[in-house]
Amino acid sequence: AEPRPIAMVTTLNGYACQRRTPLQHHNAVLTDALLVLAEKAEFSENEGRSVALRAASVLKALPHTVINMENLQGLPCLGEHSQRVIKEILEDGKSREVEAALHSEQYQAMKALTGIFGVGVKTADRWFREGLRHPSDVASSGHRLNHTQQAGIQHYDDLNMPVTKAEADAIGQIVKEAVQAVLPGAEIILTGGFRRGKPTGHDVDFLITHPEEGKEEGLMPKVVSWLEARGLLLYQKTNRNSYLEATEGSARPPNNMDRFERSFSIFRLDMPGAGPERHPQAALLEQAQDDSSVGGRRVGESWDWKAVRVDLVVTPFSQFAFALLGWTGSQLFERELRRWAGQEKHMSLSSHALYDSKQKRYLRASCEEEIFAHLGLEFIPPCERNA
Ligand code: 8DG
Ligand code: MN
Ligand code: MN
Could you report the predicted ipTM of this complex, rounded to two decimals? 0.95
Q: Which ligand is nearest to the CA of 192?
A: 1
From 53, 258, 322, give the residue whose CB has the most ligand 1 atoms within 8 Å, as the site to mutate: 258
pLDDT (average), residues 124-136? 98
CA of 170 to the centre of ligand 2 (A): 15
User: Contact at 8 Å (CB) between 204 and 311?
Assistant: yes
* Residues 286 and 263 grouped into a single domain: yes
**Residue range 177-209, pLDDT digits in tens:** 999 999 999 999 999 999 999 999 999 999 999
Q: Is residue 18's pLDDT more than 80?
A: yes
CA-CA distance, 278 to 339, in Å (whole number)? 43
* Residues 295 and 188 grouped into a single domain: yes
- Cα angle vertex 114, ends 112, 119, to 5°? 135
Residue range of the domain that includes 251: 164-317
290 is catalytic: no
User: Contact at 8 Å (CB) between 29 and 86?
Assistant: no
Domain containing residue 185: CATH number: 3.30.460.10
* Residues 68 and 195 grouped into a single domain: no
Q: Is residue 131's pLDDT more than 80?
A: yes
* Residues 257 and 311 grouped into a single domain: yes
Q: Which of these ranges, 50-54, 180-184, 201-205, 291-295, has the smallest mean pLDDT? A: 291-295
32 is catalytic: no
Torsion, CA 264, CA 266, CA 267, CA 268, rounded to 10: -170
Number of domains in the chain: 4
Q: To the nearest 5 percent, what fractions of the chain are helix, strand and coil?
A: 45, 15, 40
**Residue range 224-269, pLDDT digits in tens:** 999 999 999 999 999 988 776 655 544 444 455 678 899 999 999 9
Predicted TM-score of the model (pTM): 0.90
* Residues 327 and 311 grouped into a single domain: no
pLDDT (average), residues 81-108? 98
Q: Give the position, in ligand 1's atom list, of the atom nearest the Cα of 163.
A: 3
Mean pLDDT of the chain: 91
Q: Which of these ranges, 21-30, 268-277, 351-360, has the smallest mean pLDDT? A: 268-277
Q: Is residue 276's pLDDT more than 60?
A: no
Q: CB within 6 Å of ligand 1 — which residues? A: 192-193, 198, 201-203, 205, 258, 326-327, 329-331, 334, 351
Q: Is residue 31's pLDDT more than 70?
A: yes
pLDDT (average), residues 347-360? 98
Given 157, 270, 304, 311, the catalytic residue: 311
- pLDDT of the residue at 251: 46
**Residue range 142-152, pLDDT digits in tens:** 999 999 999 99
Sheet holding 305-314, edge to edge: 187-190, 204-209, 305-314, 261-270, 233-239
Q: Give the position, in ligand 1's atom list, of the atom nearest the Cα of 200.
A: 3
CA of 192 to the centre of ligand 2 (A): 4
Q: Give the position, in ligand 1's atom list, of the atom nearest the Cα of 256.
A: 29
Domain containing residue 128: CATH number: 1.10.150.20
Q: Is residue 38's pLDDT more than 90?
A: yes
169 is catalytic: no
